Structures are given as structure tokens and as C-alpha cells.
Structure 1
Amino acid sequence: MHRLPHHAGHSRFRAIGNARAALAVVLAAGCTLALAQAQKGAPVPGAAGIYSCVDAKGRTLTADRPIAECSDREQRELSPSGMTRRRLEPTYTAREQAEREDRAREAAVQAARIADERRRERALLIRYPNAAAHERERGEALVQVDAVIQAARKRLSELADDRKKIDEELEFYKGDASKAPGVLRRRLDDNAKSVAVQNRFIGEQEDEKKRVNARFDEERVRLKQLWSGDTATTAR
């Protein structure tokens, strides 16, 4: 029998071992890939899948490939054991996809509006746990506005006193301002403008009182529902 050199025999055994190791790596990689696909619900090569759906007429259809009659609805891919491997989304036209996105946006806006309304309701209840607290804050707000009006009226009174002095000086000119010195005429003009400003300011503050009362009245309607626990009605 012909014998290989000692070093050649070792080389041959090493080559066989390397080949076996490479085969083991390939097999392990294949098993890992198959396991990952199965976990993701993706079809595993060599394993037949079953597709199932309920069509527009309410019939349950099954096939060994995606079902054309159910292209507009969700389908399920089942394993041979009947377990759901994955779900196939409907196939939409560009127009249908745009409509779905519009509906999703509208739903998101509506959900955000409702969430914001709920936050405002919670804030109202924290701030006004009862009717007495709400009325107390209304009164405080109105007192602040009245204080501003009172200060403006006090200024009007001061302007009225100043006007009396101006009129007394105008008597020397028989009430004819055109004959009065420029300084006196400017005082008269400034007084008239200041009176107009204060009257306009008082009118604005009276309007502010109306706005304050309107706001508290509107809050009171909603708070009555919240205090009673009736939160079914949402703002439109």
C-alpha cells in the first residue's frame, strides 16, 4: 500500500475538518434565518402558507396565494397548523390612500381637540372646585376693573377742577378763547383732550366688565356639568 507522507496526511485531515466546519456554519446560518423569518411572521422557504379572508359578501375564502377578491381588505397568511403568520394590508389606489390619510388626520385633530378640552376641564375643576370659588374670583376680577374706572373718574374730577380755573381766567377775555394768550389756549385744549381720553378709557373698562361677566357666565354653564359629574357633553 502506498503511504502518504506524514505531513500530507495531516493536511488532508485539516482540509476535511475545515470543510465540515464551514458546512456547520452554513447550516446554522440557515436555521437562524428561518427562525427569524418565522418570528417576524414571514413565510419560511419550503413551508406552504394558506391565505384567508372574508370577502365583501361575507364569505370566508382560502387559497394557497393572496386572494384577488380580498385585495381591498385585510388578509391573513396562516401556517399549516392554522396559526396566523402575518397580516396583509389591503391594496389601495392613490385616491383611496389619500382619503385614508385625510380621515386619519381628521381623527388625530379631533382626538387632540377632545384631549385639550379634557385638560381645560380638569384645570377648571382644580381652579374652581365649587360655585363659591367661581363667584369669588368673578367678584375679584370685577373689583379690579372697578378700581381702574374709579381712578379714571377721579382724574376726570381733577380735570373738571382745572377747567373751572381755566374758565375763570377766560372771563377776562369775555369767554372768547381766541383772545386768550397761547398758554391759556393750550391749557384749554389739553384739558379737553384729557377729558376725552378718560371718558374713552372708562367706556373701555365698562366693556371689559361685560367681557369678564360673559366669560364667567360661560364657564359657569360648563362647570355646572362638571360639578354634577355630567361630562358626556363635549364642546363642538
Structure 2
Amino acid sequence: MKPAVAVTLMLSLLAFHTASWAQIFVCKDAGGRTLTSDRPISECADRPIRVLDGRGNTRRVIEPPPTAEQKRKLKEQEEQRKADDIVAAERSRIDLAIKTRYRSETDIEMARGRATAPIEEKIRREKSSLTEAEKQQAEAQAEADAVQKKNRQLPAHVKRKLDDAAQSVIAARKQLEEAEGERTQVSARYDDTLKRFRELSGVTAKPLNLE
């Protein structure tokens, strides 16, 4: 090959290589003008920038960084995704526990009975305490009424007995309400378990016998 031909070929290859790897940055500024440069364009920092090769073909697009509002929404979406993942994982854990622990609806009802038995006993005790407190309150009130019938001022000890009896009734009622609330919560959990067991087993709820 003659030297002149070789040089021409080499220059042609170099030009082709340069054209293939050259980068041209193109964007539109806020005023709608098309800007071009051989490096990233500062005027389009908040706008998409197309990167062209030497032949004018788009090689890639440089997207602008997200705005503060976009960042906030992305953060909210990520937090929601994490929360949904936690809920899904907890649901899977509960489903596995239900399938592992119970073989039938009878098993669930037996577990309900074991869980509520001590609560039922507590309710019976609290009812008895409330009955006793109300009895003592009635006795204190009767004593106060007898004194007032004689047009006498209530002695301090009678007033104190009335107040103590009233406080005892209030406390007993509160204890009873808490125990009954606990029973409701426990029973509701087993209702949910039974419902989910039926869903996992593909069993529909049994119809009520209204006869």
C-alpha cells in the first residue's frame, strides 16, 4: 500500500471514530430556544438534555434532578411501600400461624374458650364486688336518710361513709367494664381468626338456624 493511500485511510478511520464517539448535548431552555454544546449545558440544569453522537443519533437522555415536591412525593411513596410490605409480611406470618395451629373450626372455638375462661372468672368476681359495693352504699344511704329524718345535720363519719361507698361503687363498675372489654377484645380476635381460617380453607360461614 502506498504511503499516501495509507495516510488517507488512517485519517478516514480516525474521522469515523471521532464522529462515532463525539458527544453533542442538546436541550431547550426556559424560553424555548434549542441549545447545543459539546458538554452539559448549565442553562438546562432543570430540563432534560439529549446526548447525541457524531451522527446526530440520540445516545441517552439526562433527566433533570427531581424538584422538592417530586422528592416529597417519592419519599411518601417509598414510606407507603415499606408500610405495605410490613403489613403484607405480618399478614403472611398470621396466616402461617393459623394454618399451623388450627386444623378445624372446633380447634379455634376450643382455643377461644381457654382464652376467655379466666376472663369470665374475673367478670364473676367483679360483679360480686360491685354487688357488695352497691349493698354498702345502700346501707350508708339508709343511715344518712335516718339521720336526716330527724332534721339533724349529717355527722362527718356518715358523710365519709357515703363518699367511701360511692367511690367503691365507681371503682367496682370500672373494674367490671374493663374485664368485659377485655373479653370483647379477645373474642373479636378469635372471630377474626375464624374468618381468616375459613378464607384460607375456602369454607363459607355456616348459615344460622332460624327455626
The bucket for the TM-score relative to the shorter chain is 0.5 to 0.7
CA deviations over 1:126-150 (Å, ceiling 9, x no partner)? 3334322211122223322222221
Identity %: 22
Which whole-Å CA distance do the structure 2 matches of 1:104 and 1:172 have between them? 72
Q: Look up the SS of the partner of 1:179 in the other structure.
A: coil
Whether contact under 8 Å (2:119, 2:179) holds in the other structure is yes
Aligned to 1:187, which of 161, 167, 179?
161
Q: 1:106 to 1:155 in 2, by over 3 A?
A: closer
CA distance in 1 between counterparts of 2:143 and 2:81 reads: 74
Cα distance per residue 1:55-92 (max 9 Å; x no partner): xxxxxxxxx99x953525xxxxxxxxxxxxxxxxxx54
Contact 2:119–2:182 (Cα < 8 Å) also in 1:
yes
**Structure 1 residues 95 and 200, CA, compared in 2 at 3 Å: closer, same or farther?**
same
Q: Show the 5 A alignment for 1:1-236.
A: 69-71=58-60, 91-95=62-66, 109-163=83-137, 165-167=139-141, 169-170=143-144, 173-175=147-149, 179-228=153-202
Alignment partners' CA distance in 1, 2:57 and 2:87: 40
SS at 2:66 equivalent: helix
| Kept in 2: contact 1:141–1:212 (CA 8 A) | yes
User: Which runs of 5 or more residues in structure 2 are unaligned?
Assistant: 1-16, 21-52, 204-211
Judging changes above 3 Å, is the alpha-carbon distance between structure 1 residues 166 and 228 closer, same or farther for their aligned structure 2 residues? same
3-state SS, counterpart of residue 179 of structure 2: helix
Deviation string 1:156-185 (CA, Å, 9 cap, x unpaired) is 232244345435644652557972321222
Cα distance in structure 2, aligned partners of 1:182 and 1:109:
60
After superposition, the Cα gap between the structure-2 partners of 1:167 and 1:135, relative to the gap in structure 1 and judged at 3 Å, is same
Residue 225 of structure 1 and its aligned partner are, at CA, apart by 2.0
Say if 1:129 and 1:227, in contact at 8 Å, map to a contact too: no
1:206-227 CA-partner distances (Å, limit 9, x unpaired)? 3333333322222221111223
Count, aligned residues: 152
Shift of residue 194, structure 1, vs aligned partner: 0.9
Q: Which structure would you say has the larger Rg?
A: 1
Please name the residue that 2:206 is paired with. none
Q: TM-score, normalised by structure 1?
A: 0.48
Query: Who is 1:43 aligned against?
Result: none
| CA deviation string 1:1-28 (max 9, x = no partner) | xxxxxxxxxxxxxxxxxxxxxxxxxxxx
> Structure 1: any 5+ residue segments left out of the alignment?
1-47, 51-63, 73-90, 230-236
**Counterpart Cα distance in 1 of 2:194 and 2:151:** 55
User: What amino acid does structure 1 have at the position aligned with 2:201?
Assistant: W
The AA in structure 2 aligned to 1:158 is E
Instruction: Determine which structure has greater relative contact order: mean sequence separation of CA pairs < 8 Å that are 6+ residues apart, divided by chain length.
Output: 2
Secondary structure of 1:71's match?
Answer: strand
Partners in 1 of 2:87 and 2:185 — Cα distance? Answer: 25
Change (3 A) 1:178 1:195: farther
CA separation of 1:151 and 1:107: change in aligned 2, threshold 3 A: closer
Cα distance in 1 for residues equivalent to 2:182 and 2:122: 11
1:180-208 CA deviation, whole Å, 9 max, x = no partner?
32122211211012112212332333333
Query: SS in structure 2 opposite 1:201?
Result: helix
- CA distance in 2 between counterparts of 1:158 and 1:206 reads 19
Paired with 1:145 and 1:224, the residues of 2 have a C-alpha distance of 26
Are residues 95 and 150 of structure 1, via their aligned partners in 2, closer, same or farther at CA, if it must alter by over 3 Å? same
